[in-house]
Amino acid sequence: MSTEELQIFLDIATEAAQAGGAVLMSYWGNLKDIQEKGSPGNLVTEADKAAEEAIIKVLQRHLPHHGILTEESGELGDIKSKYLWSIDPLDGTTNFAHQYPFSASSVGLLIDGVPQVGAVFNPILDELFQAAKGLGATRNRKPIKVSTTNILAKSLVITGFAYDRRETTDNNYGEFCQMCHLSQGVRRSGSASLDLASVACGRVDGYWERGLSPWDIAAGVVLVEEAGGQVSAYNGSSFDIKSGKILATNGKIHDLMSKALVETPPIATWGTNANKKD
């Protein structure tokens, strides 16, 4: 894939993310239809649907033969294509519904299954994050880099919780408690794409989460890697976007966070014989 082609795809991703963001702003503070889908707390609004429509329109106008995977509409076109766009029109719907200003339109492109282009736009704070393989990462068109913190105890990290956390024991509670003890602080923004953007621009030093879908993180993964960070599975092995789990850091605390996550037992076993050492 040439640099020129990737730049074209990045320009299209940016146009799509900004089109979605413009729609989101038209609904900011004016939502009339807020519904739950699936798990309790998993919200969808008219803003999600309208922003997704705007994003899809841009992509299909420029690239009609590419596949598209979206949070609301599912699979569109040839999803077995070499090129698969993975879209979250409103990442942070709960935030948006409460007018908490951490929401974004996220547009990522997977080429042969690997995230290589991403644009994340938070229209409320007017922050545009862009990246493409080999082209670096930017915030509002200015280059960004990950932090240089190399001690976990001095690190600020960020995470999130899946919508089904009430129903499953495979949740993030144990890791959250562990990281609260080991780090300088743990934050939760409620938007995976913006969490990854925060790693990329050095606001936080690391991010982990489980229960994710490809559209949550496709764009953000590119941001982190192009800003000099590291992305992997919890155990440090190669990242698999279909796994639902991700560890993304500045690279300097990656092994430390990986070790902590791997060694943390499920919180359901805390205080039981199953978690006691001889």
pLDDT tens across 122-138, in order?
Answer: 999 999 999 999 999 99
pLDDT, averaged across the chain:
92
Calculate mean pLDDT across residues 38-55. Answer: 80
**Does position 267 have pLDDT exceeding 80, yes or no?**
no
* pLDDT for 269: 74
Q: Which residues pair with 70 in a beta bridge?
A: 74, 87
**Per-domain residue ranges for the chain?**
3-143, 152-269
Query: Contact, 195 vs 189, CB < 8 A?
Result: yes
Reported as a pLDDT band with limits 50, 70 and 90, residue 164 is low
HEC assignment per residue over 204-250: CCEEEECCCCHHHHHHHHHHHHHCCCEEECCCCCCCCCCCCCEEEEC
pLDDT in tens, 244-256: 999 999 999 999 9
pLDDT in tens, 49-98: 999 999 999 999 999 999 999 988 888 988 888 999 999 999 999 999 99
CATH of the domain spanning 152-269: 3.40.190.80
With CA atoms as reference, report the closest residue to 144 among 95, 88, 201. 201
* pLDDT for 43: 66
Query: Contact, 224 vs 146, CB < 8 A?
Result: yes
CA separation for the pair 176, 17 (Å, rounded): 31
More confident position, 35 or 187: 187
Angle at the Cα of 185 from the Cα atoms of 183 and 189, rounded to 5 degrees: 130
Q: To which residue do tokens 């309790």 refer?
A: 40
Angle at the Cα of 17 from the Cα atoms of 13 and 22, rounded to 5 degrees: 150
**Does position 190 have pLDDT exceeding 80, yes or no?**
yes
Q: What pTM was computed for the model?
A: 0.92
CATH of the domain spanning 3-143: 3.30.540.10
Query: Contact, 115 vs 222, CB < 8 A?
Result: yes
Calculate mean pLDDT across residues 174-203. Answer: 97
**Does position 11 have pLDDT exceeding 60, yes or no?**
yes
**Does position 276 have pLDDT exceeding 60, yes or no?**
no
Calculate mean pLDDT across residues 8-31. Answer: 96
